[in-house]
């Protein structure tokens, strides 16, 4: 019978630093022992885990067809088949009548990830059809470390060419000649830093741009008009864009506006009043961004003209361009809003049925398309793809993600609550439960993130229904550090304000308890990556407030990681967390870093998940944290570490593999909360 592994302690400031010795036999043995301990602790739940897996799988339409995307003479789409981990990619000729009807007899298989994965890990980076529709450029990561191999497939003959380049970031961007590709190279810290140009048939590529500042990432993409290529260089706080006519790939990129610290701007190319223009989303007049335009021939900053002014109440998050309209993605009052500006007509907002939801432009389709597609979902409403007529605003639901078996959206209540932080700030909470559950304290699963300005808009989950059907409440804490209430909300939860993120999450937990939704003995919390840092910090501060926690690929060894600039991403993270080479920043991070602040106290039951090939959050962060917790805590609650030895930051890559991981986590919660299995 396995026993809980006890990691040896080395003398020095960091007693578990030896766990950072990747591939050392002692380290692998320790991780395997932790995996064995986790399996032994949950062995009695094998049947429950299988039941949960089958339950979740049973709600998902395993054989399905994605909504076809029309482009040029083809419809492009994906098909999932029962038993397969990945969808296959297809195309068929586009019907002359303008419909989306698929001619199965004439369809062409473009790529089969199931064959490529061969049962192992697989992540597709680029999937890019050439402008003449004759070739497919794609990139594959087969370990989870986010380093990609590049391929080009001749769609006429089926011949595949592996491009002879290493350390690639996975991006592949076509020029209009359908012969020239641009791709990014990673440096030793896993940062895309160099742009290469490759002409098919050549064994080499030209390095045409290098970003030397370690804070900046490099990326290249095609503009909405398909007439221009855009090279974006951006840190967490500053950006710079260079542009190139897609018809002249051998020419040089030109800069729109040289970088200035704190100035962020993002560029696209489209048409206005019959003429080609640049559209620029910039924060030069305010943190919530404004929209500018400039004639195609004069894109530099002195020629920018204001199109949409900065608004203190609304964050301008993005712009989508079509030939007859531009569409703004806004954020107001904690919710996403789509606003359409048709040429020659009044602007209008997209109307939606729910009070709390997720909404974004999924596809602007071809540049001359009179319609775009929106993706819309809520905590109790499966995702819908809605077609929006740009002129007039008529909506049509083209596809709703099916839920197999009995399901009634009206059986669930979705709510927006507001907690109050210690400084008086109101913190939004999104919540869903079965109607009959509300009114008495129930098991509650509280999720949080709160970093990088990312917004956790409410989303539907087939898997989550297994918790809701067992009487759980599910809630999302929209804490500061995220982007739900705009740029100011983000800035109020980063750098010197980072502790607001943790205080907000605790305030949300206390609010849910005080309002009778749950009790401390029924409250489970979860977060991943930077959200794992959040979970680690609040467990140190208020362990008695929670009964259980799940931390996935958690960024918990924050201080040590931020002191090591040789690790992937560290330097680029200084704008988010600060540089601990500065004494005041060192003390600030040390005061909240989860690993440093583990102390002799009772902690809730804890399941920690890591990916051995994770290049963003190294596997040892979770391993060191668990080792220190096991040696220091005063309780005997379950403390489990699961390291996926063949995966990276996103966990296992196949859809069934991912569902089994969810089933394991749900079974863990049912066990530690003492709930009936059915």
Catalytic residue ranges: 529, 614, 649
Q: How many CB atoms lie within 10 A of CB 3?
A: 9
- Non-local (6+) Cβ contacts of 518 within 8 A are 441, 442, 443, 444, 473, 512
Cα(317)–Cα(490) distance, rounded to whole angstroms? 13
Contacts of 99 (CB under 8 A, 6+ apart): none
CA distances from 455 to 113, 410, 440, 450, 494 (A): 30, 26, 30, 8, 14
Q: Smallest Cα–Cα separation from 480: which of 468, 496, 458, 466?
A: 496
Q: How many residues does the chain have?
A: 678
Cα–Cα distance measured from residue 629 to residue 379, given in angstroms and rounded to the nearest whole number: 34
* DSSP β-ladder status, 548-552 and 523-528: parallel
| Cα–Cα dist 35/669, whole Å | 18
Radius of gyration of the chain (CA): 25
Q: Strands 639-644 and 605-611: what pairing?
A: parallel
Q: Would you give the distance in Å from CA 206 to the centre of its chain?
A: 31
Question: Taking each helix axis from N to C terminus, what angle separates 619-632 and 25-41, rounded to the nearest 10 degrees?
Answer: 60
Q: Classify each residue of 65-103 as buried b or exposed e, where b means 16 or more C-beta atoms within 10 Å of its C-beta.
A: eeebbbbeebbbbbbbeeebbbbbbbbbebeeeeeeebe
- Per-position DSSP letters for 559-615, written without gaps between them: HHHHT-TTSTTTGGGHHHH--TTSHHHHHHHHHH-TTTT--SS---EEEEEEETT-S
Token digits of residue 16: 């578990």
Find out whether 188 and 228 touch, Cβ atoms under 8 Å: no
């Amino acid at each position: 019978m396995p026993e809980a592994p006890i990691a040896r302690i080395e003398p020095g400031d960091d007693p578990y630093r030896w766990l950072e010795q990747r591939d050392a036999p002692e380290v692998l043995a320790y991780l395997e022992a932790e995996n064995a301990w986790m399996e032994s602790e949950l062995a009695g739940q094998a049947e429950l885990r299988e039941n949960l897996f089958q339950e979740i799988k049973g709600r998902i339409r395993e054989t399905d067809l994605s909504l076809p995307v029309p482009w040029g003479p083809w419809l492009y789409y994906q098909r999932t088949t029962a038993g397969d981990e990945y969808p296959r990619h297809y195309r068929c000729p586009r019907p002359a009548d303008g419909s989306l009807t698929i001619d199965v007899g004439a369809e062409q298989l473009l790529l089969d990830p199931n064959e490529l994965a061969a049962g192992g890990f697989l992540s597709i980076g680029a999937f890019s059809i050439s402008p003449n529709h004759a070739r497919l450029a794609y990139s594959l990561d087969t370990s989870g470390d986010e380093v990609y191999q590049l391929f080009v497939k001749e769609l006429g003959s089926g011949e595949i060419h592996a491009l002879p380049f290493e350390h690639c970031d996975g991006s592949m961007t076509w020029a209009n000649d359908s012969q020239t590709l641009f791709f990014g190279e990673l440096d030793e810290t896993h940062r895309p830093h160099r742009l290469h140009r490759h002409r098919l048939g050549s064994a080499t590529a030209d390095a045409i741009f290098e970003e030397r500042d370690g804070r900046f990432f490099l990326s290249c993409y095609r503009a909405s008009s398909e007439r221009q290529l855009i090279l974006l260089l951006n840190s967490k706080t500053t950006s710079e864009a260079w542009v190139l006519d897609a018809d002249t790939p051998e020419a040089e990129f030109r800069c729109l506006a040289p970088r200035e610290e704190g100035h962020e701007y993002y560029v696209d190319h489209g048409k206005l009043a019959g003429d080609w223009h640049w559209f620029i989303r910039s924060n030069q007049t305010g943190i919530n961004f404004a929209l500018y335009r400039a004639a195609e021939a004069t894109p530099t900053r002195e020629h920018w003209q204001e199109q949409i002014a900065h608004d203190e109440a609304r964050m301008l998050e993005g712009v989508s361009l079509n030939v007859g309209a531009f569409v703004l993605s806004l954020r107001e009052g904690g919710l996403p809003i789509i606003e359409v500006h048709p040429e020659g007509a009044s602007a209008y907002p997209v109307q939606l049925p729910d009070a709390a939801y997720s909404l974004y432009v999924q596809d602007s389709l071809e540049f001359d398309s009179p319609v775009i597609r929106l993706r819309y979902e809520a905590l109790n409403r499966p995702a819908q793809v809605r077609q929006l007529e740009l002129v007039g605003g008529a909506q049509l639901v083209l596809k709703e993600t099916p839920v197999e078996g009995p399901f009634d959206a009206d059986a669930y209540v979705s709510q927006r609550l507001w907690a109050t932080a210690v400084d008086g700030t109101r913190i939004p909470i999104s919540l869903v439960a079965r109607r009959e559950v509300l009114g008495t304290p129930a098991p509650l699963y509280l999720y949080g993130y709160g970093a990088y300005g990312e917004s956790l808009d409410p989303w539907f989950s087939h898997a989550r229904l297994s918790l809701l059907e067992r009487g759980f409440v599910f809630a999302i804490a929209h804490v500061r550090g995220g982007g739900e209430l705009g740029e100011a909300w983000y800035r109020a939860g980063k750098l010197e304000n980072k502790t607001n993120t943790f205080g907000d999450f605790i305030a949300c937990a206390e609010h849910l308890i005080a309002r009778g939704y749950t009790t401390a003995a029924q409250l489970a919390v979860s977060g991943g990556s930077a959200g794992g840092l959040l979970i680690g910090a609040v467990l140190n501060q208020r362990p008695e407030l929670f009964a259980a926690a799940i931390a996935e690929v958690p960024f918990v060894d924050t201080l040590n990681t931020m002191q090591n600039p040789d690790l992937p991403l560290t330097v680029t993270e200084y704008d988010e967390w600060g540089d601990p080479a500065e004494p005041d920043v060192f003390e600030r991070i040390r005061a909240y870093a989860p690993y440093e602040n583990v102390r002799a106290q009772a902690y809730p039951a804890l399941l920690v998940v890591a990916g051995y090939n994770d290049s963003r959050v190294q596997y040892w962060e979770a391993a060191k944290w668990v080792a220190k917790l096991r040696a220091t805590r005063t309780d005997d609650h379950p403390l489990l570490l699961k390291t996926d030895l063949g995966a990276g930051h996103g966990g296992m890559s196949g859809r069934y593999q991912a569902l089994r991981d969810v089933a394991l986590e749900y079974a863990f919660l049912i066990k530690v909360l003492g709930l009936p299995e059915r």
